[in-house]
């Protein structure tokens, strides 16, 4: 099975992102390029499989469109504040109707003593991060992918006339592709590479001149920390350093998640 260099994958990735016209790839090319695009396109409904369980066709939406479709769930506390008597709840003490006046109704009353605290307590509000392109300008571009196993080809075409409302770097900044994560995970698992800087530089070196185009430059300290945490939780031992990593250019399709 022929392999592609990272430069070739970056070229096909950019072509696949813009998709100015229908695109045809061989199945080995698809298997090498798709992990580099897993953060750009999200599979949507409408997948069809053949009798052998192989994927025949699949619709995909832009990652930014999928993000825009996700609406935050309405919390129970917010619903209770809007309608406190819903679902048979009793009204609060402040809403209880006043009782009948007593013989001491006209007597002066003393205000209830207020509790005092040595240090005022405030609840810290959780910070939220927004992305103007993702949140205010959702992308409407969708594609269809058809697999023709008889001739070993994959056909990709647009299903809408929309253009991307963002760049591929905007996606890479928010989410890492499976290709980048696979290489990063392997570097985290190696002995001797513990710091974020060491792992980041090692990944950039492996991808070479194609590193920025593949989104490797956006690897963050949080990405590395999360990978280390998952590795420790799973009890995965460190690996020995590889003397030869295939020249740092060729992609082993067996090491790439599809």
Q: Is 19 inside a domain boundary?
A: yes
Q: Is 228 inside a domain boundary?
A: yes
**Which of 162, 133, 178 lies closest to 18 in space, CA to CA?**
162
Q: Is 148 inside a domain boundary?
A: yes
Q: Is 249 inside a domain boundary?
A: yes
DSSP state of 247: G
Q: Is 118 inside a domain boundary?
A: no
**What residues make up the domain containing 189?**
6-70+134-255
Q: Is 201 inside a domain boundary?
A: yes
Angle at 102 between CA 100 and CA 103, to 5 degrees: 155
Interacting residues of 69 by C-beta distance below 8 A, sequence separation 6+:
138
Looking at residue 33, what is its pLDDT? Answer: 95
Domain count, the chain: 1
pTM: 0.66
pLDDT of 220 > 50? The answer is: yes
Q: Is 116 inside a domain boundary?
A: no
Task: Write the pLDDT tens digit of every residue in 148-172.
Answer: 999 999 999 999 888 898 999 999 9
Task: Write the pLDDT tens digit of every residue in 183-205.
Answer: 999 999 886 667 899 999 999 99
- Residue 92 exposure: Cα atoms within 13 Å on the Cβ side: 5
Q: Is 100 inside a domain boundary?
A: no
């Amino acid at each position: 099975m022929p392999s592609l260099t990272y430069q070739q994958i970056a070229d096909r990735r950019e072509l696949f992102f813009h998709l100015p016209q229908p695109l045809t790839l061989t199945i080995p090319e698809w298997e090498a390029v798709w992990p580099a695009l897993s953060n750009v396109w999200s599979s949507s409904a409408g997948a069809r499989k053949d009798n052998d369980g192989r994927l025949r066709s699949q619709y995909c939406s832009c990652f930014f469109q999928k993000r825009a479709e996700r609406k935050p769930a309405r919390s129970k506390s917010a619903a209770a504040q809007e309608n406190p008597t819903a679902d048979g709840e009793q009204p609060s003490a402040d809403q209880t109707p006043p009782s009948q006046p007593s013989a001491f109704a006209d007597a002066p009353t003393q205000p209830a003593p207020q509790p005092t605290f040595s240090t005022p307590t405030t609840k810290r509000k959780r910070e939220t991060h927004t992305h103007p392109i993702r949140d205010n300008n959702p992308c409407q571009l969708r594609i269809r992918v058809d697999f023709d196993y008889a001739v070993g080809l994959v056909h990709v075409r647009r299903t809408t006339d929309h253009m991307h409302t963002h760049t591929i770097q905007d996606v890479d900044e928010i989410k890492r592709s499976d290709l980048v994560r696979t290489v990063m995970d392997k570097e985290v698992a190696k002995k001797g590479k513990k710091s974020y800087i060491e792992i980041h530089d090692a990944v950039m070196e492996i991808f070479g001149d194609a590193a920025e185009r593949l989104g490797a430059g956006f690897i963050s300290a949080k990405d590395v920390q999360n990978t280390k945490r998952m590795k420790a939780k799973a009890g995965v031992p460190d690996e020995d350093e590889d003397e030869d990593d295939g020249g740092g250019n060729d992609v082993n399709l067996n090491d790439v998640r599809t």
